[in-house]
Amino acid sequence: MALSRDATMLKALWSDRYAVPAALTLAIGIAMCWLGAGMPRTAGWASAPGLFPILIGSGLILMAVALCFEGWRRGAPVLARLGARAPAASDVANAGEALPPSRAAAHLAAARTLGIVLLYALVLLRTLPFEIATALFLALAMLANGVRGWRLIALVSLGVTATLSVIFILLLETLLPGTGSLVEQWSYR
């Protein structure tokens, strides 16, 4: 049975090692900029907790553009259609085949990571203090990416969270995203 042109294009898109990461990176970058722009600006942008997500989101958008350019430069099956080069015959011929296990696992890991980032940005930061939300996010991200040592997960997630809180609250004297901060409550007593 022959695949339709749209189905072939969709399978080529999914197997393109540049288009899928670029699209996911672009989506995360846009979401971070959008969420950061919606955070309160009590004394202008200098003290806004949304400034950091906007900076990170902008960097992710630039990385997505760089991924697209690299894919186009290397002649990736889908991104090459945006430029003058046509996809290689072997790429189109193999578009209807199932992904190899290593590629399928990589796509699954990317989808898990995207889900964890969205959970952090849309649920955890809106319902929990920054430190608890960030420690949970880092622990989940490490588990999703294959880290299995509970001591290492606890050390890294709690250490990074505490370091970020102290730097942003005590040294930079800025607000953190989320429903508040445990360090902020402790430091002003």
* CA 154/CA 156 separation, integer angstroms: 6
pLDDT in tens, 120-160: 988 998 899 889 999 999 999 888 878 888 999 999 999 99
Q: What is the mean pLDDT of the chain?
A: 76
Check residue 148 and give left, alpha or beta (phi > 0: left; psi -120 to 50: alpha). alpha
- pLDDT tens for residues 165-189? 888 777 777 777 778 788 776 765 5
Q: Where are the domains of the chain?
A: 1-97, 99-189
Nearest to 29, CA basis, from 5, 59, 8, 67: 59
pLDDT tens for residues 65-98?
A: 888 887 777 766 555 554 444 445 454 444 445 5
Asked if pLDDT for residue 24 goes beyond 80, the answer is yes
